Structure 1
Amino acid sequence: MGTKEQLKEERDKIVKGLEEAYRRLIEFKKQKKSPMIVLREGKIVAVDPNEIHPTTIYKRKAG
């Protein structure tokens, strides 16, 4: 396996880990009935975790 393939494999593992962490965070916030604090259009806002998708998918630019 070449270096390029190893880097792709590591990146894929990192992305999957980040997606799982996001899923767990949303689940935790729903259980605690605690808002998500996010940055939207340059402003800090509180968002009901029930309004947020429980999963996210990393979209990579081609190239």
Structure 2
Amino acid sequence: MDNKEQLKEERDRIVKGLEETYKRLVEFKKQKKSPMIVTRNGKIEAVDPNELLPTTLYKRNAG
């Protein structure tokens, strides 16, 4: 396995971890009935976690 393949596998594991963390955070916020604080267009907003998708997919660059 060459270095490029190792980096791709590591990146995929990191992205999968980020996706799982997001899922758990949304579930936690729903349980606590606490708003999710996000930035949109450079502004900080409080969002009801029930309005958020339960999962998200991060963009993965080809290559």
Could you tell me which runs of 5 or more consecutive residues in structure 1 were left unpaired when the two chains were aligned: none
Secondary structure at 1:46's aligned position in 2? strand
Partner of 1:17: 17
Could you tell me which runs of 5 or more consecutive residues in structure 2 were left unpaired when the two chains were aligned: none
Deviates more, 1:30-39 or 1:53-62: 53-62
1:6-45 deviation per Cα after TM superposition (whole angstroms, max 9, x unaligned) = 0000000000000000000000000000000111122111
TM-score (norm 1): 0.92
Counting matched residue pairs gives 63
Q: How big is the shift at 1:60? A: 2.4
Q: How big is the shift at 1:61? A: 3.6
RMSD value over aligned CA atoms? 1.1
| Superposition misfits of 4+ residues, deviation over 6 angstroms | none
